Amino acid sequence: MTSAPRSDSPLSFDVLVVGWGKGGKTLAAALGAAGRRVAMIEQFEDMHGGTCINIGCVPTKTLIHDAEQRREDEDPQQFWGRAVSRRDTVVGKMREVNHAMLADLDALTLIDGRARFTGERTLEVTGGEDTLTVTAPVIIVNTGATPVRPDLPGLDSARVHDSTSLQHVEPFPARLVIIGAGPIGLEFASMFAGYGAEVTVLNRRERLLPGEDADVAGEVAAVLEGDGITVLNSASAQAIEDGPSGATVVADGGGHEQRFEADAVLLATGRRPATDGLGLEAAGIETDQRGAINVDEHLRTSAEGVFAIGDVHGGEQQTYLSLDDFRVVLSQLTGEGNRSTSWNSTSGSSAPWNSTSGSSASGRTTTDRIAVPTTTFLTPPLAAVGLTETEALAEGRKILVASQQVATIKAMPRPKAVADPRGLVKIVVDAETDQILGARLFHVDAQEVINLLALAMRTGTTATQLKNGIWTHPSSTEALNETLGKLAPLLG
């Protein structure tokens, strides 16, 4: 990799990638390895490798893991300090690996600076006092998402954090108030409770996890409560008042003012596509009301030759979907229109790619994604795929449902062996076809077992086949043997 020389004349590349996230870095590496001239543009040096390894998935799950190892008698401040140090070591090593992944490619140029469109397929990159103009027939926008900051008085307090700054909070907060009860809010609630904090979650909805069946949401709420976490439903934050010894979060709880003292406050009110300042209008790139870039099923924007991948185009914000975006875009750029296609560097073709070529309109696209699983890393994790019972009934399906408390599943000894038999297994099956329609797994190893159920949904593997499967012992997967044996039609 070479650094781009500063020049008054535009520099030309085959591909420009704006943002070093999962999809962008993988695409840059694949095309750079094939000898294509690629420029990776990243605004922040400490974001080399993307959100996931620097401030998102990896560091937070590292902190969650360590929280689960803490004993009651261990000092929260000292334990937190050691955990943060290990977190930083893990992130540093992964950042080095990700940097080397591109640094070893001679055809790839790294440009540090903030990019904005100044015209069709033309970017101006500003770094410090330097400005560089770069062009390419293909541009990939991969700038991710940024935390949403609600319009509340008092957000300028040093005690107010987002999910990035809270990972290095000092001193460790004995009292943490979390505004928002989505996946990020609940993960941090579970994490900080594990480190010994007194955690209060303000949930503006009438109940926790309104998109889940009531029994699943109720089980999650019971586990959080058992861990000492207070979740207040129908509670909306109104202001944050800073004081000499802490902050006070003022909330509206069903028409009544409530006040909560805190050493730290986490804003967990969602993330929105990071498109501010990109100058998208100069390139004719259309966005929706939230600022997400509009794309078609091939991830093409309204501007010729410009693609958007990852969180910046809206939808579910998952690293593995960004990776799948890479597959979709690579298949368009190689002219094959098939995700399984790899770049053929011996093809002899050096012509620029045409994002509207006939071949790019064929093959697999974002519309063929089936059974995409998710996991919220509580302790234990909550994993989900497919339809809930409520959704399946709303579609008019005839269904069978199997649901068991983890503690009662005799054929599932692993949670008991690791001293956490809490949670629930719930699986929804089509009564006519025996196909898995959806599952909610709230137990030890749920983040792994959910992938098996997702694969079954994609391949047509039946509930009976899973029930009769031969699984390792002791494992959490064994729950399928017993729980699926209890499938029953709904009564009433």
Q: pLDDT tens digits for 12-44?
A: 999 999 999 899 999 999 999 988 999 999 998
Distances (CA, A) of 200 to 61, 75, 178, 448: 21, 21, 6, 29
Identify the weakest region by mean pLDDT among 200-214, 221-235, 241-255. 241-255
By C-alpha distance, which of 57, 46, 56, 59 is closest to 20?
Answer: 46
Q: Right CATH number for 160-269 from 3.30.930.10, 3.50.50.60, 1.20.1730.10, 1.10.10.10?
A: 3.50.50.60
Domain with CATH 3.30.390.30 in the chain: 374-489
Put residue 254 in one of left, alpha, beta given phi > 0 → left and psi -120 to 50 → alpha.
left
434, exposed or middle or buried, with CB in 10 Å at 0-12, 13-18, 19+? Answer: middle
CA 429 to CA 464: how far, in whole Å? Answer: 10
Can you give the pLDDT at residue 362?
Answer: 43
Q: What is the mean pLDDT of residues 470-487?
A: 96
Instruction: Please report which helix (H) or strand (E) contains residue 328, including its range.
Output: helix 319-333
Put residue 488 in one of left, alpha, beta given phi > 0 → left and psi -120 to 50 → alpha.
beta
Can you give the pLDDT at residue 351?
Answer: 31
Q: Which of 48, 161, 256, 473 is catalytic?
A: 473
Q: May I ask the CATH class of domain 374-489? A: alpha beta
As beta bridge partners, residue 383 has 375, 441
- Model confidence at 254: pLDDT above 90: no
Instruction: Please report which helix (H) or strand (E) contains residue 30, including its range.
Output: helix 22-33
Is 473 marked active-site? yes
- Using pLDDT thresholds of 50, 70 and 90, give the confidence band for residue 118: very high
Domain with CATH 3.50.50.60 in the chain: 2-144+272-368, 160-269
CA 431 to CA 427: how far, in whole Å? Answer: 12
Q: What is the mean pLDDT of residues 413-434?
A: 97
- Model confidence at 210: pLDDT above 70: yes
What is the total residue count of the chain?
492
- Using pLDDT thresholds of 50, 70 and 90, give the confidence band for residue 354: very low
- Model confidence at 431: pLDDT above 60: yes
Q: What is the mean pLDDT of residues 152-175?
A: 97
Q: May I ask the CATH class of domain 2-144+272-368? A: alpha beta
Q: What is the mean pLDDT of residues 178-190?
A: 97
- Model confidence at 355: pLDDT above 50: no
